[in-house]
């Protein structure tokens, strides 16, 4: 006898907690579903997510800025001992069929969607910033083929969302970051790395990225990027039109807030991770580093206000004069970022 074809599946024991970064919220949900109650802060920490990356595209006259690592998923896998792959399936039917297979097996599926199809995200994001959202991750937790619906959780919203299957299919294969139909699959072994070991590996990676990165072609990361950013931004007035300044300020706001989803440039969350890690590991811990990153979170928030000023008035004299808060804040951020990573490296070697 043939097995009955399932037409409706819903993973009711998936617990969704709304959060800031879509990817961090999704990963936190997946790990929680597998019995690992990792908070978003732990996902950022264990995924060596703390970042400052910066690159300039001369053709488009704009900057690329990252405050959270684009490598978070791979670092998280390699720091915890989880297996996973990001898939990209050209054929829409094949992409859907694979997702349904996984849901049938009881595995929730993080899926990339065109941000324009995500209601909660659109509500949260001011209109002038929408064009700057590159992509958005949701977690598919069920489907109903008879009703042609997909059930999913989206990071800004508490409740389960229902999306029409045709809309969902279009949302998967459209959007600014093509080729699309991307999703992630995971395999969790019975035993992951001991937590303290994961913390140490994850912090070690952050130290490597911040202190010892020299080049990503035009794309810099870590301290080198912060130095370059601080120097370049102070020169924007001389090289950009007002429109370009406002555009780059918007790009900055999107990066530092992760699309109006987080505060403190992920430094605040990283500080929480370090504090929690200290409590678990004992010994000297990472208390001083946690304080340093908490302070940096506040500094970046202050700087964000200055960038908002530039969006409204790119030529604002109070911003561009030499002894402005803007310039002083930039210098302080640069110096404190350098001091914070030095301290983190020292504490890492001690612990």
Partner 1 sequence: MHKIAPDIGYCISKVLRDYSVVIEPDVCLLLSSPLWLGMNISNGNAYVPVGKDIIAYLNPLFLESFSVNANCLFLPVRGNSQEHFTYLIKRLKNQRKTLVKLSGDVLERNDRLPDGAAVPVLGVIEHILEHPGSNGAVVDLVFSERSTLTLSEADFVKYWHSDTASKINTEWFTIIPSQGKLTWALIEQKLRAAFVRQYHHLRPNRGGVVTGSAVLEFLRSNLCQGTGRYGDPASHFYLWQTGKGIIHLRKGYAYALNKAEGMGPAVDVLQQGLLDSVRAWEDLYKVLDRDMTVRQLSDQYEVLIEKENKLIQNFKAFV
Q: Which residues bind partner 1 (CB under 8 A)?
A: 48, 70-71, 74-75, 77-79, 81, 83-90, 94, 98, 101-102, 104-107, 179, 185-187, 189-191, 193, 197, 201, 204-205, 208-209, 212-217, 221
Bridge partners for 143 per DSSP:
9, 150
Q: Indicate the residue among 159 and 212 with the shorter CB distance to partner 1.
A: 212
Bridge partners for 62 per DSSP:
57
CB of 232 to partner 1, least distance (A): 19
Sequence-distant (6+) residues with CB within 8 A of 227 are: 334
Q: Indicate the residue among 208 and 328 with the shorter CB distance to partner 1.
A: 208
Q: In the 8-state DSSP scheme, what is residue 114?
A: -
Beta strands in 134-288 (DSSP E): 136-144, 149-154, 161-164, 182-187, 220-221
CB of 165 to partner 1, least distance (A): 19
Q: Indicate the residue among 18 and 81 with the shorter CB distance to partner 1.
A: 81
CB of 122 to partner 1, least distance (A): 28
Using CA atoms, how far apart are residues 105 and 228, in angstroms rounded to an integer? 48
Q: Indicate the residue among 74 and 236 with the shorter CB distance to partner 1.
A: 74
CB of 323 to partner 1, least distance (A): 35
Q: Indicate the residue among 149 and 220 with the shorter CB distance to partner 1.
A: 220
Cα 247 from chain centroid? 21
* Matching residue, tokens 């807030």: 257
Q: Using DSSP, state whether 120 is helix, strand or coil.
A: helix
Using CA atoms, how far apart are residues 214 and 13, in angstroms rounded to an integer? 45
CB of 29 to partner 1, least distance (A): 17
């Amino acid at each position: 006898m043939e097995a009955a074809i399932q037409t409706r599946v819903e993973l009711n024991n998936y617990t969704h907690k709304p959060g800031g970064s879509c990817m961090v919220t999704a990963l936190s949900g997946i790990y929680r579903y597998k019995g690992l109650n990792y908070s978003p802060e732990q996902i950022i920490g264990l995924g060596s997510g703390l970042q400052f990356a910066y690159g300039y595209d001369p053709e488009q006259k704009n900057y690329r800025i990252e405050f959270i690592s684009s490598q978070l998923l791979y670092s998280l896998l390699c720091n915890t001992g989880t297996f996973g792959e990001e898939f990209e399936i050209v054929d829409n039917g094949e992409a859907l069929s694979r997702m349904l297979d996984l849901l049938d097996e009881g595995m929730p599926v993080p899926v990339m969607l065109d941000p324009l199809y995500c209601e909660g995200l659109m509500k949260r994001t001011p209109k002038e910033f929408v064009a700057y959202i590159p992509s958005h991750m949701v977690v598919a937790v069920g489907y109903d083929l008879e009703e042609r619906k997909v059930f999913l959780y989206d990071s800004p919203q508490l409740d389960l969302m229902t999306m029409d299957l045709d809309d969902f299919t279009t949302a998967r294969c459209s959007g600014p970051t093509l080729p699309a139909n991307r999703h992630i699959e995971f395999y969790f072994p019975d035993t992951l790395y001991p937590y303290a070991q994961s913390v140490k590996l994850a912090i070690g990676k952050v130290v490597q990225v911040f202190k010892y990165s020299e080049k990503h072609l035009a794309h810099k990361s870590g301290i080198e990027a912060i130095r370059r950013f601080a120097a370049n931004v102070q020169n924007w007035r001389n090289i950009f039109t007002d429109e370009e300044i406002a555009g780059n300020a918007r790009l900055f706001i999107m990066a530092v807030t992760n699309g109006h989803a987080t505060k403190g440039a992920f430094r605040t969350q990283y500080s929480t991770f370090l504090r929690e890690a200290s409590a678990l590991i004992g010994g000297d811990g990472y208390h001083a580093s946690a304080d340093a990153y908490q302070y940096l979170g506040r500094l970046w928030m202050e700087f964000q206000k200055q960038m908002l000023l530039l969006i409204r008035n790119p030529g604002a004299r109070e911003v561009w004069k030499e002894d402005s808060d803007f310039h002083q804040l930039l210098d302080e951020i640069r110096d404190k970022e350098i001091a914070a990573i030095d301290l983190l490296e020292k504490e890492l070697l001690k612990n």
